[in-house]
Structure 1
């Protein structure tokens, strides 16, 4: 009877010892070197590709019990990139587990840019569309043509457009920069020409100064002199919502019209 009890004791002790030798308690925390990161997924993959995953708590800490083995560790969290790399291994076959410190980095990137014309002058109130992965963002350039936004590592596309200009944009693959401040997007202005004849009582008015006026602010856009045949031609005129003609010498002012295309044979009758 005593011998049987002794065997049972040995068996229980052996099983307990075996169990303790085969299971290890692994603990640690996830951090971005400044703050502990909660809700991060810490995965342990063995040589048979069996994966066990644990989530860090609100304090960034995690704890998991695993069989003694060699594990590849990965850590993931939305908005962050792992700094431990994809080939971080620990071997708990012969070594006691030490507390793991898994470092991550915020993958948000501050991006600064400017919308300019071909002369380098800023363009304000430009509509800017940003695509960050599958997310879309709408911005507007300020009075100095500047814009900024928070992106993330990966592919970012920027497209700028404004009435009176041809749209333009750029795409870039962001890998590990923390901020980018040298993006310049050049918009080329759409220009048109207006040509015709200046006529009064069926006569062509020659050598007459003709002004093209911005209808929004009454400022002179351009001034030309009609030819000896009474013809005129305004070139490289920017798009204006409203405009009109003025002839100071005879006190003439035309009706307001829109400049959004080339205006050929745009004859002016001053009668």
Structure 2
């Protein structure tokens, strides 16, 4: 009799084990806090790194049946970034599943920046090259040195350049920002050296005022006196499309020339 009771107990215990539910149904929705997001991919990684994924429906809802386990959850959707990150864990070994709310954010951003020179003045028509992931953009600054583009979160590289300046750039790792307007890229102007002698006939003109003039607006770039040997040198001269020399005391004006490199032994003949 006791043996029969023991067999009945073992049989009942076995049936309870076989009857225990080994799986669970996990459900929830994906949202950007304003709207439910469909077509998002929700993945569950177990302790052995096996993965099961499900897509959210048009109303952001998802449901999946999985074995009881501990899971790492990720959610991905084009144009969005997960706010739960890639290290969101749940433990369904003993605890019943609660409805999951997986928040995401639209990763589109608007970026304003400014390109300036050494003195903080805006540089118009500077070329700005932008790399966003694998996407490349070419834009120009406006008359106030401002550039603007739209992108998405992640690593963004910006490089500015213009003739007469050394190029410069910046890289940004943007995560949750929606609007950035404090980017400033300073370009250092290239400067050049001009030297030579002021000559009339067979004579070097000594202690004579010599002016270097901007050919575009006829404004003085720099002025000096020739040395006691009739020599001159201009240093740290910016790049100019056109320039010329003027000797006021002689009423002399040279031919125009371009300043885009060092000019040595640039003798001026006033005859």
Q: Which residue of 2 aligns with 1:260?
A: 260
In the alignment, the residues of structure 1 paired with residue 49 and residue 204 of structure 2 have an alpha-carbon distance, to the nearest angstrom, of: 90
Task: Tell me whether 187-196 or 60-69 shows the greater mean CA deviation.
Answer: 60-69
Over 3 Å counting, the alpha-carbon distance change for 1:48 and 1:208 in structure 2 is closer
Rounded Cα–Cα distance in structure 2 between residues aligned with 1:57 and 1:246: 78
* Greater Cα offset, 172-181 or 125-134: 172-181
Q: Could you tell me which residue of structure 2 aligns to residue 103 of structure 1?
A: 103
Distance 2:148 2:99 in 1: 40
Q: How does 1:22-61 map to 2 (within 5 A)?
A: 24-61=24-61
TM-superposed deviation, 1:67: 4.7
- The equivalent residue for 2:80 is 80
For residue 163 of structure 1, report the CA deviation from its aligned partner: 1.0
How many residue pairs get matched? 254
CA distance in 2, matches of 1:58, 1:268: 79
SS at the partner of 2:249? Answer: helix
Q: In 2, Cα distance between the equivalents of 1:46 and 1:200?
A: 91
Q: Which runs of 5+ in 2 are unaligned?
A: 1-14
What are the equivalent positions in structure 2 for 1:198-209 lying under 5 Å apart?
Answer: 198-209=198-209
Tell me the residue number matched to 1:247.
247
Deviation at 1:90, TM superposition (A): 5.2
Question: TM-score, normalised to structure 2's length?
Answer: 0.80
Which residue matches 1:89?
Answer: 90
In the TM superposition, 1:100-139 aligns within 5 A as 100-139=100-139
Q: Does 1:210 align with 2:210?
A: yes
Give distance in 2, aligned partners of 1:46 and 1:229. Answer: 87
CA positional deviation for 1:137: 2.2
Q: Structure 2: how far apart are the matches of 1:94 and 1:212?
A: 84
Q: Is the 8 A contact 2:70 2:89 kept in 1?
A: no
- How far the C-alpha of 1:18 sits from its partner, in A, is 5.9
Q: Gapped runs of 5+ residues in structure 1? A: 1-13
Question: Bigger shift: 81-90 or 232-241?
Answer: 81-90
Select between 235-244 and 134-143 the one with higher mean Cα deviation.
Answer: 134-143
- Structure 1 distance, partners of 2:137, 2:161, is 14
The residue aligned with 2:11 is none
Equivalent-residue separation in structure 1 for 2:205 and 2:45 (angstroms): 89
For each residue in 1:19-49, what CA deviation from the matched residue of structure 2 results, as whole angstroms up to 9, or x when unmatched? Answer: 9x55554433211101222221011233443
TM-score, with length taken from structure 1: 0.80
8 Å contact kept, 1:70–1:93: no
8 Å Cα contact 1:44/1:71 also seen in 2: yes
CA RMSD of aligned residues (A): 2.8
